[in-house]
Structure 1
Amino acid sequence: MGFYYLIDKTEESIRPRYMETIEESLNDTTHVLSAIVEEKIKSNPKERFHFKALLEQIFRKPFQNVRNRTFEAKIYSLLKTNADIQMYITDANGIVIFDSEKFREGLDYSKYNDVYLTLKGKYGVRSSKMIETEKEGALFIASPIRYENEIIGVLTVIKPKIGLIPFIEEAKNKFWRISLLVASSIAIVFSLLAYISFRPILRLSKYVNALRTNDKKPFPKLGIKELNDLGKEVDQLVIELEGKKYVESYVQTLTHEIKSPLSSILASVELIHSHPTEIDRLTKTIDAEAKRIQNLIDQLLELSSLEGKNSIQLEDTIHLVPLLEEVITRFEIELERKALIVKRIFPNHSFQIRGNQNYMRMAIENIIRNSIEFANPNDTITVRIEFDESSQTNLVISDQGQSIPDYAFPKLTEKFFSLPRPIGNRKSSGLGLSIVKEILDLHRAALKIRNLNPKGVEVKIEFRNN
């Protein structure tokens, strides 16, 4: 509405501006014609007493000639074929003594503004009808004719407005076309800006809706700072809410996992009181179950610590071969108990990576522990460092134990998922590979697990930060 008001007022000003332009041109024309008359009188002062005859001599034939002349003047988009300018001249009393159209001669125009004001030494102009039936009227612009600083007459040039109307209408039409084009452009640009502005809101709305339906989606790029800040606050709120659920899940799982060994401990304590002779066996049971609880708690605390980190400082220079030897040495008793052989395939040169040595040791320990637990007695566990085609270094740990069922592969790194061990069908806490996955993610390394043929499992760590 504001834009329409602006263009409507501008359109209303087109006609006055055109009239002002024509008036300025006509003013120049009247002064040129007045100067011609004055020069004729100056060159022959006696002509002053024959003023009417002089005017007839100067202007009659030229006006007759221009009336009979036809031409084609392409003025912008309009074609002009004849001249419509008129002129009359009065004496010092305002009586018309020359008229290009002849019908005004002898009339008293001393009361009309163009003549009246000019005779008083002012700017003479008026806008009125030339005849009663005329619709638009005309512009009358006058200038004085002087002789020896005395006004002896008034020369008025007349421009019918009817000749200006086509130009004014064409200008208005062009103005409206341009205005509509500008308005359309503004509407399109506004729509695009609105779309660009509201699209981030739509993205944020979809993201929040996805959170509500537990559909995992990454936080969208919003572009607008304020919305981005709002989105980050929403994201942080979700993280905090998920953290609350995470703690609840941990508490429930911890309660469930501790319930079994705790029941076993309580039962053993009761049996000690009722069967004192079984103290040694029951004490070992209590010790084993207590260690199981301790291990579960340690792993839960470690995993929760790792999951709370987005990144870690990779400041240690890890010599991989010595680290592997250290970890293998820690499992010597378990290896001897199951008569397992560890085959080492290491490169001749020393290999180093950047990382956190404690975390990397923990990850390798969990992998080797799994290999030991799933291996059969007298099997061989192979630990090797290899290089692929892109010179990327991989640590591969493989065993000859039982293969992993197909259904279990997607769940291997999930918390609390565990497969039964081949001896006794006992399950672990299901946190080992979850911890490995978190550590390798922090080291920008990849974990790959596959079955070997005919049996066994291979676990590969691809170090991508070398």
Structure 2
Amino acid sequence: MVSNHYKFFFILSIGFYYLIDKTEESIRPRYMETIEESLNDTSHVLSAVVEEKIKTNPNQRYQFKSLVENLFRNPFQNVRNRTFEAKIYSLLKTNADIQMYITDANGIVIFDSERFREGLDYSKYNDVYLTLRGKYGVRSSKMFETEKEGALFIASPIRFRNEIIGVLTVIKPKIGVIPFIEEAKAKFWRISLIVASSIAIVFSILAYISFRPIIRLSQYVTSLRNKDKKPFPKLGIKELNDLGKEVDQLVMELEGKKYVESYVQTLTHEIKSPLSSILASAELIETHPKETKRLTSTIEAEAKRIQNLIDQLLELSSLEGKNSLQLEDTVFLIPLIEEVLNRFAIELERKSLQVKRIFPNIPIQIKGNQNYLRMAIENILRNSIEFSNVNDTITIKLDLHENGMMNLSFMDQGHSIPDYALTKVTEKFFSLPRPSNLRKSSGLGLSIVKEILDLHQAQLHIWNVKPKGVEVSIRFQNF
């Protein structure tokens, strides 16, 4: 079994290397696409400047060459003579290397920021050829034979009264972009090696700690399947011991097999979305260093979402497996509510929420399971906080009815539940987006509440209140 896991690790390593290698190959085209997008905007801005100049004096169309000469010669001369120090990430840029030329409607260069193209026929070059025909003009080629990388040429039309009278091409030598690409590749590989090394170390530790107990557990399960009675092995890990005992019970209770399979399938389905988000964020960190903080926050949030989903699903599974519950605790509801409120003090303060308590002056007690009731109240209060607006008031009311019933209600002033969702909010995995971040929860909170209340022979009611907000009511009979 251990050798199979190492084979899996070896195959995973090859796949990881292939993924990293292909991602590294995509860095250059992604950079070039970014440069092209910026040059396209620049080209259109400059051509718009020429068009506006002609609009102010249409006669200048006939002095097109002198017009663009007057517009751009001095600015380009000025920028060529200008020096600066711009530290862009780890690289220092000291001069501007952007170029530009303009052709007339026949593709003849009438202005060149570098002067050597003026008078040449560029009508056959793609940037000019395509633009004159109303298409997107772009090409990548060498400006000189001695160049290795060449340049990117992005063109835009110059129009006068819906007629193309010229083409403005902006040029970016690739040699100015290459240092950024190489730096990005180097950083990408450094981070990839760190990640790969971390994965290898973690895998080795987990293999050492986990595989031997797992082998023992696997052998024990095999013996159960073969009806070969053996004592439960010492696994040395509490979680695996617990898991082994659950497996033992599962084998003896074959009728629960389909039930467990259903939960495994549901858990797998629900984890796919946050896991995909984690993987996507991890990949984007390498190519979008500016977004590292946001992406790592996304990874952390999605990991917590998976952990919360697993915890709640296990809790719900445990509750659904109970046909009845020994209601042996004497639960004083008011102190229990205050205890839960203290736990949520930070969340309440963060949103500046006020809690209005409407409690009777006498102690209220019921027979039940205090831990489960605390869990139910926590889930309800958490929903009230998450769907409340800043500075809202949450009202908690506890009252007795003449018919021997007792009612505990939580009312917020936040967002109402859509009509179609009122009958679904207690269903497993049904969730509405939170107003603060539009993200959904695990969809298990109210399902757990319903299971707990069913075990306490209590009723759960949820409805919208006017003008806005939701009221969740628990009606107890056993008090």
Give me the TM-score of the superposition, normalised by structure 1: 0.46
Larger radius of gyration: 1
Give me the TM-score of the superposition, normalised by structure 2: 0.45
